[in-house]
Amino acid sequence: MRFKKIIAFTLLTTTLSGFVCPAVIHAESVDKKIEDSQKKIDELNAKKNASDKTLSDLNSTITKLDKDINKVLEEKASLEKEINSLTKEIDDLTIIINKRNKQIESQARSMQLNKEDQDLVNVILESESISDALSRTVAYSKLVSANKDIMDEQKKDQATLAKKKETLNKKVDDVNKTAKELKTKQEKLEKSKAEQVALADKILKELSKETDNKSAYESQKAEAKRISEENKKRLKELSDKQAAAKKALQVQREKEQKEAEAKQLEAQSSLSISKQSSAIGKSNNNTKTDEDKKETVSLPSQDGFSLPLSGGYTITSGFGSRTDPTGYSGDHHDGIDLATGAGTPILASRAGQVVEASYHPSAGNHVIILHDNGLYTYYMHMTNIGTSVGSVVDAGDTIGTVGSTGNSTGAHLHFGISSSLWNGFINPTSILSF
């Protein structure tokens, strides 16, 4: 009874070891994520700084352009005043020219009508005296000269008018051209500014998201570290308990072995005495005594291990190094894989006591048997388990059926042998003949 309790305790500590070692985020993996996240943050900060500088340069250019536009607007306002003044001068000059034109036209008609009278020869001939002739000649010359001066002044004013109009038109064209160029430049700069603002906003959002990611990774790292420390502590406690249980089990086994040997000697001694009594005629019956019926309470003993399958099979994976087909269990194989049909009975390879009969994510449904020689046998990936913890089985007893539970790629039996529970695995082919 005490032997079974010790076995049960060993099984409990081993099972708990499996539950307190969940897959947690590896610190190295989290550190890599944090490092990558920091690189992205640095890149985004560099982009943000470049964007801020570009935006600052655009704002400076736009500010300068605004000043240029205001200056042009001031020039335009000043030019408009000049245009108004020049327009008035043009209007006044136009009025004068029009008046002169009318005067010239009137004088031209008058001279045309009085051509004969205005002829210089006629003026002299019609004069009553030389003095009168001279006076008339002077008057005629003055009239002709005045008309000529008016014509010259008219031509001069018309030239001035044309030049002022040309100057005015040129100034208007220049101002309009400059204003148009500045407006186009302003529109381009405003568009560039809008694009840069949108880019800066996008960078800020990405930066915020990446900063949040980094914080999340750092939290995961802290949590992983906490869980790791907690698991180390709990595993150490369990390891200590398991070592104590194993030691107690060994002591108990030695004690029970001695008791069994003593009982066997006692039984043999009783049998010898009974036979001697029968020989001298003290008893003629062949009935065994109560001492003869007593059995040793210990694990059955058997010389070797037998095949764990009764039917045909194929060894699909041997013991030792191999390429893990699923990428989950590592590249070292702790046993051998025997492929056969699903549901094929699995047999105990040697008499012993069941110390584990449960499910594991990697081993699937599995059974572990402790044998009298201190070795353990493992039967994994079962469809069904046909025994329970604490059961004593004989070699050849059915303990389950072949399946593909846990980390498996097809129906097969993973069979292993070790010198300690889940440790010290031995190549089964060195013990069994296949």
CB-based contact 161:16 (threshold 8 Å)? no
φ, ψ at 20 (rounded to 5°): -90, 10
Structure confidence at residue 104 (pLDDT) = 73
C-alpha 64/C-alpha 70 separation (Å) is: 10
Q: pTM of the predicted model, to two decimals?
A: 0.34
pLDDT of 124 reads 62
**C-alpha to C-alpha distance for 238 and 91, rounded to whole angstroms:** 113
Q: Which residues pair with 356 in a beta bridge?
A: 368
DSSP annotation of 421: T
Inter-CA distances, 401 with 371, 385, 390, Å? 21, 7, 19
Mean pLDDT lowest among 14-23, 225-234, 283-292: 283-292
Q: Which fold has domain 28-218?
A: Helix Hairpins (1.10.287)
Residue 287, burial from CB neighbour count under 10 angstroms (0-12, 13-18, 19+): exposed
User: How far is residue 360's CA from residue 434's CA, in Å, rounded to a whole number?
Assistant: 28
Q: Render pLDDT for 38-96 as a digit per residue (tens, 0 to 9).
A: 998 999 999 989 989 998 998 999 898 888 888 888 888 888 788 788 788 878 888 98
Quick one: tokens of 297?
A: 């309470």
Distance between CA atoms of residues 434 and 423, nearest Å: 24
- What are the sequence ranges of the domains in the chain? 28-218, 299-430
Cα separation of 48 and 40, whole Å? 12
- Is pLDDT above 50 for 277? no
Strand 376-385 relative to strand 412-420: parallel, antiparallel, unpaired? Answer: antiparallel
Distances (CA, A) of 425 to 14, 215, 306, 350: 16, 43, 18, 17
How many Å apart are CA 382 and CA 406, to the nearest integer? 9
CATH of domain 299-430: 2.70.70.10
- Count of beta carbons in the 10 Å neighbourhood of residue 154: 16
pLDDT band at residue 192 using 50, 70 and 90 as cut-offs = very high
Phi-psi category of residue 160: left, alpha or beta, with phi > 0 → left and psi -120 to 50 → alpha: alpha
Most confidently modeled of 145-154, 254-263, 389-398? 389-398
424, containing H or E segment: strand 423-426
Question: What is the helix, strand, coil percentage profile of the chain, to 5?
Answer: 65, 15, 25
How many Å separate Cα 232 from the centre of its chain?
31
Position 343 confidence tier, pLDDT thresholds 50, 70, 90: very high
Query: Are 266 and 296 contacting, i.e. CB atoms less than 8 angstroms apart?
Result: no
- Answer yes or no: are the C-beta atoms of 209 and 36 closer than 8 Å: no
Residue 396 has pLDDT above 50, yes or no: yes
Dump pLDDT digits (tens) for 161-175: 899 888 888 888 998
